[in-house]
Amino acid sequence: METIIIVLFVLGYLAITLEHNLKIDKLIPALAMMAFIWAIISLAHLPVFEVNAELKELSPSHLDEILLHHLGKTAEIIIFLLGAMTIVEIIDYFNGFFTIKNFIKTRSKKGLLWIFGILAFILSAIIDNLTATIVLITILQKVVHNRETRLWFAGLIIVAANAGGAWSPIGDVTTTMLWIGDKVTTLKLISYVLVPSIVCLVLPVGIASFLPAFQGNIKMAEEDPNIQTHKRGGTMLYLGLSAIVFVPIFKTLTHLPPYVGMMLSLAIVSTFAEIFSKSKINITSIDAESDAHQTASPLHRSLSKIELPSILFFLGILLAVAALESLGMLFNFAEGLNTAIPNTDIVIALLGVGSAVIDNVPLVAASMGMFSMGTDDPVWHLIAYSAGTGGSMLIIGSAAGVVAMGMEKIDFFWYFKKIAWLAFIGFLGGFGTFVLMRDFII
């Protein structure tokens, strides 16, 4: 039966990886894989294990308890992401991100490259790398008129956004998973990963600034008269970003799970959004008479734009990996891997390279079940860095790359020839920096 479960997992994993070729949304194989694996465990009465510092075998009658435990851990991540996504959508409702365009004054391609790179690095650490990429490519389309030039900028934005997301507990789904799973703490994550992430940004952007594509000046694109700015856009931008940054502080002060702080931040931002939009707060009403009013509410509008397929994908893949963890398979695999490759750094480096091909969410979920180190062990910080930045080496290797691919219709092989080598240099530079800091400084 365990062989069947492994085959199901591998087939589901392949379907997720090849979603663009199969033209099937990755949430479908993720949910199906999760349901079938847990069904086999239940029907075959396979022994499951409670995951503590050591494996403790439980009888099959405790399956519901184990499943509920994993569902609770997964729900923490999902609710956290829902809150963050809603705050970002509320900022966008007021066109707050357009405020960032006012900071861009130069016409120098090299200057613009550094501006967009630094903005991507900082924004992704606050609002996550996926959202930062969407925001900056939207602004890029308003600033750079020539598409060929814009493709180069978009490629480096992907690299910078992934580098920025790796050192923040709210910058990437994988770092959020490690943070909520008590594998890393905010201050230690920043102290270990910030400098390697900066190296991962500076190396590719610095090398790219000498390439012919970034020489000379650009012709500024004309302003779009259809864009309507809101007088409270800037206020909502700063309020929303501050509310998200407040979440790690709230967790440190109260020792409550991160999603509690995110819900508080969402409540505060939503209150100001309703006041600024002059809409009456009416969250629970669903009758037809109030339908027109609800459409005008920034909170309801933002909630309706949440990308639920991604949320369901996280549910499916995290519970599928949890099944392998409960069966003890991941621990056995980790022991075999450590025997074959005694150097943990090499294993994690391969994980980073693998995240360019395979979705980094299940990779990190699997690593959390493979390794048994305590909170803030350097292994977890190196995993956060590798999984976060390794995906930049292929355009399909990260959520930021996939969304940029869709927005700018970037060709897979164009990115592979033009940007992948830059991302690889950045990844290796940051990885080496982390190892040196860990062994000789921190």
Per-residue model confidence as pLDDT tens digits over 169-223? 988 888 988 998 889 998 999 999 999 999 999 999 999 999 998 888 877 655 5
> 51, 75, 219, 244: which is closest to 149 by C-alpha?
219
What is the DSSP track for 170-198? Answer: TTSHHHHHHHHTTS--HHHHHHHHHHHHH
> 435, 390, 425: which is closest to 192 by C-alpha?
435
The pTM for the full model equals: 0.74
CA distances from 11 to 18, 19, 65, 352 (A): 10, 12, 27, 21
Would you say 431 and 349 are in contact if contact means Cβ atoms under 8 Å apart? yes
Tokens 């997964």 — which residue?
A: 74
Q: What are phi and psi of 92, to 5 degrees?
A: -65, -30
| Dihedral class, residue 156 (left if φ above 0, else alpha if ψ from -120 to 50, else beta) | alpha
> 213, 205, 218: which is closest to 142 by C-alpha?
218
Would you say 364 and 178 are in contact if contact means Cβ atoms under 8 Å apart? yes
* Sign of the alpha-carbon dihedral angle for 57, 60, 62, 65: positive
The pLDDT value given to residue 58 = 46
* Sign of the alpha-carbon dihedral angle for 14, 16, 17, 20: positive
- Whether the pLDDT of residue 420 is over 60: the answer is yes
Take residue 313 and report the two structure tokens written for it: 């994908």
CA dihedral 49, 328, 366, 11 (to 10 degrees): -110
The mean predicted confidence, pLDDT, of the chain is 82
Q: CA-CA distance, 440 to 442, in Å (whole number)?
A: 6
Contacts of 151 (CB under 8 A, 6+ apart): 408, 410, 414, 418
Would you say 120 and 202 are in contact if contact means Cβ atoms under 8 Å apart? no
- The band of 228, judged by pLDDT with boundaries at 50, 70 and 90, is low
- Whether the pLDDT of residue 295 is over 60: the answer is no
- The band of 400, judged by pLDDT with boundaries at 50, 70 and 90, is confident
- Whether the pLDDT of residue 384 is over 50: the answer is yes
What pLDDT digit, counting tens, does each position of 155-173 carry?
999 999 999 999 999 888 8
The pLDDT value given to residue 163 = 94
Contacts of 66 (CB under 8 A, 6+ apart): 48, 50, 58, 326
Crossing angle (nearest 10°) for helices 308-326 and 27-43: 30
Take residue 285 and report the two structure tokens written for it: 């009403």
Would you say 12 and 321 are in contact if contact means Cβ atoms under 8 Å apart? no
